[in-house]
Structure 1
């Protein structure tokens, strides 16, 4: 047991102090995002919106995310990642607190849009900061540590969120989310100030390559958008499925979603450390992650037994643990030859576009076609994503061999 513990601890060695601070800030911030998994339930149960209305509101969520990711990338290249992160966290906190006071369809659409516009400007800046504060050989593990913080926050967040809903109602979620964002900005100002932080891998290109001309990267982004559509069902459609089909309470839903974050916290870093030493490419591993995530929804149609929800969550968790760290690392690697903010903004936008279509698609299909047909269709999308990743992996292998032969 002691040997296993030492192996686990060793997977964290060598990461810079700044990366650890970034992870702590992310943990504080994400612990408060308990609103997001419950947003569709809040809109349906508390504000009595129809499934169709909830779908369109979630599309406004996605549009704000697209705009915020693009804006964050532009601002990061213009004014630097630090200022973008600070202002994003502060303003997001204030906007989340205000969001609870909106109750009409139009005002909530506008409110959700502006919250996500500000909130998701943080993501490109954070990726560029992580790239700067991490040694080249530690990129994947640094990204995994940040994901660990995100998922530990998500693990605690939904579980705490379910308790808050029972005790204080949905309004309490908005206050906690807003306050934690503001706390994260205060920690950032105090521990990660540019004068205190040491950049370890700053990339400056005199003639940067435009991300828009990198065809392989654009194909990769299409695959990530499709993966995002599949994955995001766990943040909107699935919670309603848990409640309506399997009659789970908000607390049970929170605990089930929390299981995902807990498992990632325990197993992701050792898994990534092991996978890094295998012969598989980043894209090859992403293919496997996409396959498992699609399978996690497909198995829900096999039985009405509620235990299948745990099996589905386990499959999705393993798929997520593999797909996200290596997709992050692939994007950071490609970004080194261009404007990093632009590359990482497009990477974030691929998931933001998934927010536009993924939530709405899942909710509208489940309303019109039923959950069973929805899971079949979403699983087919996961299969298309996996095929694209497999094809891109083969293409890049051929290009690599041609370049090796030419030199």
Structure 2
């Protein structure tokens, strides 16, 4: 146990103050993340949408994410990460406040798409900031800290959101807006007079490392890598869309029980991510780490087929958490290491877009499979896609 805690403390050493504040901003932001986990339940139980129509609305969130990722990457390269993160944090607040007024199918498609477009502008700018404020030897851990804070917030948000949803779904939107406003204030006042790490950018200018402005969208190998990330993300994003519906309709859990189960995932990632990344990053290649993490994602759903006991639900969520820990930070590391200060926004954007594309098809395809053939067929489909993603990671990482 003593060795465990020593390793745990060691994992946090060397991270800059700015890296910690970026993580704090993500924590506050995600502590208010109550809308997305309950959006499918809100659409079906509160507004009476069919499963297929709810899937289309949820897919609009993914479409908006793609637009936001593209725009965010371009704007980050052009104007810098500070302005873009500030814009995203404050601009999404009025959208959250107005969304409870939208109750028709078409208005919700537009509203959810607009919301995700604005919020996803933040992602490439935030990733670029993490890279620029981190020391090169701590890069993956800096990404992990940011994600760990995100997941800690994500464990708090749904847990509280489950109780708020039982009282009023509208207050999910209002609380989300309040927390994002707080995150925006912290970010703005801490970073407004700070210059991103000049040494990090100067490392791109060494004589033995000529700088190219080549965009990520012309890097064929990285595009293939992003395709396989999208296959993985399709399966992972069932946690946002299909799993809550599965818990509600098939297992019969209440909103509070769903919130606690999703909150469990955030707690696990918060407790284990930094130490696992610190331990594994020097023992295995990124290719092996991505393959192991992907396999665990497939197992997440396959274990639900023979049993839906509450213990199996938590065990399944635990597997998904470990999968997330092994895959998410290392995809960002691949993007960061393949880029330079002239094109980092486009690489971070393409990494985000891979997940956003999956966020379009995960609810759209997933709800149709579940409604027409049942959830077990959907879980088997996830397993097949994960197998394809593993083969893809093995192939493309050898070339990269």
Structure 2 length normalisation: TM-score? 0.95
Is 1:19–1:134's contact at 8 Å kept on the other side of the alignment?
yes
Quote the offset at 1:4 in angstroms. 3.4
Is 1:128–1:344's contact at 8 Å kept on the other side of the alignment?
yes
Q: Does 2:181 match 1:182?
A: yes
Closer/same/farther in 2, CA of residues 29 and 304 from structure 1, 3 Å limit: closer
Q: Does 2:257 match 1:233?
A: no
Is 1:60–1:110's contact at 8 Å kept on the other side of the alignment?
yes
Quote the offset at 1:58 in angstroms. 1.1
Match of 1:16 in 2: 16
Of 265, 268, 271, which aligns to 1:266? 271
Q: How does 1:62-211 map to 2 (within 5 A)?
A: 62-166=62-166, 168-195=167-194, 198-202=197-201, 203=204, 206-211=211-216
CA distance in 2, matches of 1:233, 1:60: 15
Question: Structure 1 unaligned runs (5+)?
Answer: 397-407
Higher mean alpha-carbon deviation, 209-218 vs 129-138, is at 209-218
Is 1:89–1:184's contact at 8 Å kept on the other side of the alignment?
yes
Is 1:284–1:393's contact at 8 Å kept on the other side of the alignment?
no
Is 1:209–1:337's contact at 8 Å kept on the other side of the alignment?
no
Q: Does 2:365 match 1:391?
A: no
Q: How does 1:290-301 map to 2 (within 5 A)?
A: 290-301=294-305
Match of 2:347 in 1: 343
Quote the offset at 1:100 in angstroms. 1.3
Residue by residue over 1:368-395, the C-alpha shift from the partner in whole angstroms, topping out at 9 and shown as x without a partner, is 1111111111111111111100112333
Cα root mean square deviation, aligned: 1.5
1:100 aligned counterpart, secondary structure: helix
CA distance in 2, matches of 1:248, 1:301: 17
Is 1:211–1:338's contact at 8 Å kept on the other side of the alignment?
no
Match of 1:43 in 2: 43
Q: How does 1:251-400 map to 2 (within 5 A)?
A: 251-278=256-283, 280-336=284-340, 339-396=343-400
Is 1:21–1:192's contact at 8 Å kept on the other side of the alignment?
no
Residue by residue over 1:268-292, the C-alpha shift from the partner in whole angstroms, topping out at 9 and shown as x without a partner, is 11110000120x2112201111110
Quote the offset at 1:50 in angstroms. 0.6
CA distance in 1, matches of 2:287, 2:213: 24
Quote the offset at 1:59 in angstroms. 1.4
Is 2:141–2:277's contact at 8 Å kept on the other side of the alignment?
yes
Residue by residue over 1:93-142, the C-alpha shift from the partner in whole angstroms, topping out at 9 and shown as x without a partner, is 22111111110101000000110111000000001111110111110000
Q: How does 1:214-229 map to 2 (within 5 A)?
A: 214-229=219-234
Quote the offset at 1:302 in angstroms. 1.6
Quote the offset at 1:194 in angstroms. 3.5
Structure 1 length normalisation: TM-score? 0.94
Residue by residue over 1:247-306, the C-alpha shift from the partner in whole angstroms, topping out at 9 and shown as x without a partner, is 11111111111111101111111110000120x211220111111001100111122433
Question: Structure 2 unaligned runs (5+)?
Answer: none
CA distance in 1, matches of 2:296, 2:397: 18
Quote the offset at 1:92 in angstroms. 1.1
Match of 1:242 in 2: 247
CA distance in 2, matches of 1:251, 1:304: 18
Closer/same/farther in 2, CA of residues 211 and 304 from structure 1, 3 Å limit: closer
